A and B are shown apart, each in its own frame.
Chain A
Amino acid sequence: MRIRVSDSRFSFLLAFPAWIYLNVLTFAPLLYSVFLSVNQVQLTAQGFAFTFVGFDNFLKSIADITFQDSTRFTVIYTIGAVVVEFFLGLGFALALNTIRSPTKGSFMKATALVPALISPVVVALTFTLMYQDQYGLYNDVLQVVGLPRVAWLYDPSLAILSLIMTDIWCATPLVALILLAGLSAVPQEPLESALIDGATPARILWNITLPMMKPTILVVLLMRTMDALRTFELPFLITGGGPGQSTSSLMYYAYRTTFEYTNIGGGAAMSYIIVFIIALASVAYMRLLGREV
């Protein structure tokens, strides 16, 4: 005799292993991290020792000058990278959209994915070498076109620019591909009738195409903003947060607080402040661009 469970019971059984796994390895650690963030954690010979300190870790982080500098850098980095990536990506997407040859199109789509999919460590390694002032490729290029060689990573504003440029290199092709996917889903009839009515291509883009792509644009901006706000590998590996603290990102500072200054409670508090900032940015986008996703 076969026992037949109800559909809802069956669907729960299917999702159950993942549910247990996430409870034990995501929810529990996240709760544990809340506990860490309200404690002073010390590593002693007997293991970890916890002293309850309330919201001290949060208040100290917010008052910490380096944390404030890291916040400023992260915001500048995010705005700079996301704005350029979006407009550059949109330009590429419009250009790619005119390509009718399927083989050329799919070759370009495939290659465009590569920068976004390779490890940030490989990206950081390559760009560190190219930014070097003595033997780096970029200074060679500057010299060839008759400009002076510059110290890419040793001048604070240039270091910020270098990191933003690296991020742009990684993400723009992917942004273009996602926007292209949204672009090709836009129905052609309204565009054609607007063209017949004498609208310029720029007006059609601004008034018809872009509003129709709103859901895709929201996805792209959300993805990129979240990723840029939690940037870690590029500052860590390319500039080491320097010169001074000029390129210390929030995640990088949280990492140093936790593992270099062994202030685990402080690091946990900072990681939650970063989550709060990411959540704030996400809500702002949802409000700004509607809730169509």
Chain B
Amino acid sequence: MKKGFFADLLTKLVFALIIVWLAPLIWLFLMSVKPNPEILVSPTVWITSHPTLVHYQNVLFGSEFSDFLRNSAIISLSTTALTLALACPAAYSFAKFTGRKAFRGSVGYLNSLIIMRGLPGFVLIIPLFVMYTIIHMMDSKIGMTIAYTAFALPLAVWILRAFFLGVPPELMESAEVDGCSRLGAFIRIAIPLSTSGIATAGVLTFLLAWNDFIFALVLTSTSNARTATIGIFNFIGTGSHYMINWGEIGALAVILVAPILLFVLFAHRYIVKGLTFGAVKG
């Protein structure tokens, strides 16, 4: 009896702590629905008596933010597609063709991917900046997609490999006995059985591009390719804190957070496994 009471109390405590922990995000959301005069005041107005969606309307339809948001969406989605298209076959190769079946240098290639993931993106940004300037690829959505894919690919391959390892080999063998080619076994059996892995790799790749700041800061300059994170930064960077339209920034930030809430709702079971390269089961 007594033990149950303490466990219950502990659950409630953890629950309360999570709410306190998330207070900054709740506050951000409340800021985005406040009229501007109520935003920068002390003491803080938590719940406004005049809730408004005007900031969202402006961000989505009125200002240059709508361009930034569209760029973010296009670049993140194309990065996800390109990364998965490249990573799926490679990860399958590393997972299912080991030992004598592997190609020469397979293990070294796989290990080099881990080292690449440990590199700060910045090491890649400086040479990309010079190369893009020389070949006139600066400030383009294609250039951004290509750069993000290079950065996301190693992690995606490792995540997918961990999930492909879980596909029972007997299934592939019996498929081949039944006359399915190796490519057919990959496409018709391994891929459908690894949808959760593909979703995890896809989500994390998407977020890498969607959340990124530093690549976009260096490699873009106009609304051609500027992304929403740069939009927030530009806003903070211009002028005094009092002159900024904080409501619109808040709305933009909430829109940036929205897909993450959606993802954790549906995929949180796999994300821990994904973030740790499959080293830890979530």
Contacts and interface: CB of A to CB of B under 8 A. Distances in A.
Contact of A114 (B25, B102, B146): B25
B256 A119 contact: yes
A172 to B, nearest CB: 8
B41 interface: yes
Given A96-B14, A117-B260, A135-B42, A219 B123 contact: no
Given A14-B93, A15-B89, A21-B149, A251 B27 contact: no
Interface string B230-242: 0011001000010
Nearest to A182: B280
Contacts of A203: none
A268 B127 CA distance: 8
Interface stretch (A65-73, A76-84, A98-106, A187-195): A98-106
A113 B273 CA distance: 12
B150 interface: yes
Interface in A1-24: 7-12, 14-15, 17-19, 21-22
B272 A92 contact: no
Interface string B107-145: 001000100101110111011111101100000000000
A11 B107 CA distance: 12
B243 interface: no
Contacts, number: 269
Given A12-B103, A17-B90, A25-B146, A32 B118 contact: no
B122 A274 contact: yes
Nearest to B110: A15
Nearest to B212: A119
Contacts of A128: 236
Interface string A101-128: 1001010111111111111111001111
Contacts of A8: 97, 100-104
Contacts of B214: 232-233, 255
B128 A278 contact: no
B157 interface: yes
A135 B14 contact: no
Contacts of A9: 103
Given A95-B13, A230-B120, A48 B133 contact: yes
Interface string A25-49: 1100110110010000100000110
Interface in B60-114: 85-87, 89-90, 92-94, 96-97, 100-104, 106, 109, 113
A95 B10 contact: yes
Task: Give the interface residue-count category, chain A.
Answer: 35 or more
A246 interface: no
Interface stretch (A155-163, A173-181, A204-212): A173-181
Contacts of A59: none
B5 interface: no
A267 B101 contact: no
Assign chain B's interface to a size class: 35 or more
User: Dominant SS at the B interface?
Assistant: helix
Contact of A10 (B134, B146, B182, B282): B182
Nearest to A282: B118
Interface in B232-272: 232-233, 236, 241, 246, 249, 253, 256-257, 260-261, 263-265, 268-269, 271-272
Contacts of A114: 22, 25, 257, 260-261, 264
Contacts of B218: 259
Contacts of A284: none
B264 A17 contact: no
B11 interface: yes
Contacts of A126: 24-25, 27-28, 253
Contact of A174 (B24, B94, B275): B275
Contacts of B122: 230, 232, 251, 254-255, 271, 274
A110 B264 contact: yes
Contacts of B275: 116, 174, 178, 223
A98 B3 CA distance: 11
B18 interface: yes
A125 B260 contact: no
A140 interface: yes
B43 interface: yes
B195 interface: no
Interface in A252-293: 254-255, 258-259, 264, 267-268, 271-272, 274-275, 278-279, 282, 293
B133 A118 contact: no
A47 B134 contact: yes
B205 interface: no
B213 A119 contact: yes
B40 interface: yes
Contacts of A151: none
Contacts of B97: 7-8, 10-11, 14
9 contacts: A7-B182, A11-B93, A32-B127, A33-B126, A108-B15, A119-B211, A232-B122, A259-B218, A293-B279
Given A19-B109, A140-B42, 11 more contacts: A7-B97, A11-B106, A18-B89, A18-B90, A26-B124, A95-B13, A114-B257, A119-B211, A127-B24, A129-B31, A177-B282
